[in-house]
Amino acid sequence: MNIPGFGEIPQLESSHVLSSGGGLGGRAAVTVSVQVTRFRGSLPRAMRDAVGDAFGGAAFGGGEVKSVRWLGGSGVEMRVGGQIVRHVYTDKAIVEATISGAKPEEADAFFDNLELTK
């Protein structure tokens, strides 16, 4: 995929992945993974704006993709099977969160309450 502005990659400041959950004894459980990649300067506007256009409204493999407003920016949400992924570019960060094994209302509550702090 060609994302506008990707040739202007700013300096990476930090990148962290946090994961939680998992099944015990073969039982399915809710799992959550959040990846935050921060940059020293602002991401190019063309890159930030492209995330909503990259997948907006497209369907894939029995799943659905839609544009969402999340963490103060325009993002994209992909739902396939029991997994939900949200992806957003903010002014200085790229955030991707994945939740699986959750009821729809639990996943919505997770995304509504996720906050980025310094």
pLDDT digits (tens, 9 = 90+) for 6-64: 555 567 788 899 998 875 555 568 899 999 988 888 876 666 666 555 554 555 566 78
Once rounded to an integer, what is the mean pLDDT over residues 84-100? Answer: 90
| Residue (of 112, 105, 101, 104) closest to 33 by Cα position | 101
Note whether 111 and 97 are within 8 A (CB). Answer: yes
Question: How many distinct structural domains can be found in the chain?
Answer: 1
Specify if 26 maps to a domain.
yes
Specify if 88 maps to a domain.
yes
Please tell me the distance from the alpha carbon of residue 100 to that of residue 80, in angstroms, as a whole number.
10
Domain with 63, as residue range(s), is 9-113
Specify if 3 maps to a domain.
no
Q: Which residues pair with 35 in a beta bridge?
A: 17, 96
Specify if 1 maps to a domain.
no
Specify if 104 maps to a domain.
yes
